């Protein structure tokens, strides 16, 4: 529980500092509302059905994108990590596609499939695939050759080496990639909703609040909710990883 308590203490300190900066006049309140006002708006918003639908739309699209990214990246990473010749043959393509920002593909995706939920899901999948893929490949590069040689000397087949040696070794790295991709995917989902003017989602809510009346308090409230979702997801995955892979040095979560 100690890391969680420290995190909460840090968050409270940030909110207090935010409140003081505004109340003391360092930043004008009409430009940035104080933390107390934003937190009040968040409580009010969670009592509104329309806002809850926006939250559900973003979270659902995010979970779908993350699940599909895992289903694509893990098997592909196993192939590229286990077969060096395949990796070398596809390296130029992978290295060409990987640096392309997902937000740069928004116009292309909108023209191709429109601005429905499919657009933000596809872009989030594209962004989330790379951390999982590279962590899986990296895991194979870091396998101690002595472990593989020992398994083979005991008569274990290639398939057996993959399932009993390679996969258990790769699992913590793959899980770390999933945790990173979860944050990346959420960022892309909300950003796409905001830039593309989606009909539903947190990004759409923030966009509508920013226009018209220019409700900065609602903009910050929506932003804080998105950050809270990302924080809870990362905290949950980190603690889950700590329990599943506490035997592995790649695990950083400290679980009570």
Q: How confident is the model at residue 179 (pLDDT cuts 50, 70, 90)?
A: very high
How far the first Cα of the chain sits from its last, in Å, is 5
Residue 248: partners with Cβ closer than 8 Å, 6 or more residues away: 172
Cα–Cα distance, 39 to 36 (Å, whole number) = 5
For residue 186, the model assigns a pLDDT of 93
The DSSP annotation for 46-104 comes to TT-HHHHHHHHHHHHHHHHHHHHHHHHHHHHHHHHHH-HHHHHHHHHHHHHHTTS-GGG
Q: Are the C-beta atoms of residues 131 and 184 closer than 8 Å to each other?
A: yes
Q: What is the mean pLDDT of the chain?
A: 83
Fold (CATH) for 39-244: MetI-like fold (1.10.3720)
The string of pLDDT tens digits covering residues 193-250 is: 888 777 788 888 888 888 765 688 888 999 999 998 998 898 888 888 878 777 665 4
Does residue 253 register a pLDDT over 50? Answer: no
The string of pLDDT tens digits covering residues 84-124 is: 788 888 888 888 888 888 888 888 888 888 777 888 899 99
Task: Compute the average pLDDT of residues 141-145.
Answer: 72
Task: Compute the average pLDDT of residues 169-173.
Answer: 83
* More confident call, 56 vs 83: 56
Residue 94: partners with Cβ closer than 8 Å, 6 or more residues away: 80, 133
Q: What percent of the chain has pLDDT above 70? A: 89
Q: Which segments within 83-211 are labelled E, that is strand?
A: none
Tokens of 181: 């991709």
Residue 81: partners with Cβ closer than 8 Å, 6 or more residues away: 87, 136, 137, 138, 139, 140, 141, 170
Does residue 12 register a pLDDT over 90? Answer: no
For residue 21, the model assigns a pLDDT of 87
The residue extents of the domains of the chain are 1-32, 39-244
For residue 136, the model assigns a pLDDT of 87
Residue 173: partners with Cβ closer than 8 Å, 6 or more residues away: 135, 136, 138, 139, 142, 250
Q: For 248, left (φ over 0), alpha (ψ -120 to 50), or beta?
A: beta
Cα–Cα distance, 150 to 161 (Å, whole number) = 10
* More confident call, 70 vs 4: 70
């Amino acid at each position: 529980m100690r890391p969680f308590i420290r995190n909460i203490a840090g968050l409270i300190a940030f909110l207090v500092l935010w409140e003081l900066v505004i109340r003391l006049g360092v930043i004008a309140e009409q430009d940035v509302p104080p933390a107390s006002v934003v937190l009040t708006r968040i409580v009010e918003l969670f009592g509104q059905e329309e806002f809850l639908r926006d939250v559900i739309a973003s979270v659902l699209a995010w979970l779908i994108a993350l699940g599909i990214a895992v289903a694509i990246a893990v098997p592909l990473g196993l192939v590229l990590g286990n077969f060096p010749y395949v990796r070398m043959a596809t390296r130029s393509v992978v290295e060409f596609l990987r640096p392309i920002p997902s937000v740069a593909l928004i116009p292309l995706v909108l023209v191709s499939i429109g601005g429905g939920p499919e657009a933000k899901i596809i872009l989030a999948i594209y962004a989330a695939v790379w951390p999982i893929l590279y962590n899986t490949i990296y895991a194979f590069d870091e396998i101690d050759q002595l472990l593989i040689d020992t398994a083979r000397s005991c008569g274990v087949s290639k398939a057996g080496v993959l399932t009993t040696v390679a996969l258990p070794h790769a699992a913590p790295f793959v899980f770390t990639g999933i945790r990173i991709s979860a944050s990346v995917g959420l960022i892309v989902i909300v950003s796409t909703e905001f830039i593309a003017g989606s009909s539903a989602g947190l990004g759409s809510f923030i966009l509508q609040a920013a226009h018209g009346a220019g409700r900065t308090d609602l903009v910050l409230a929506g932003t804080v909710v998105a950050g809270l979702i990302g924080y809870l997801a990362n905290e949950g995955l980190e603690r889950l990883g700590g329990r599943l892979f506490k035997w592995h040095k790649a695990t950083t979560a400290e679980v009570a």
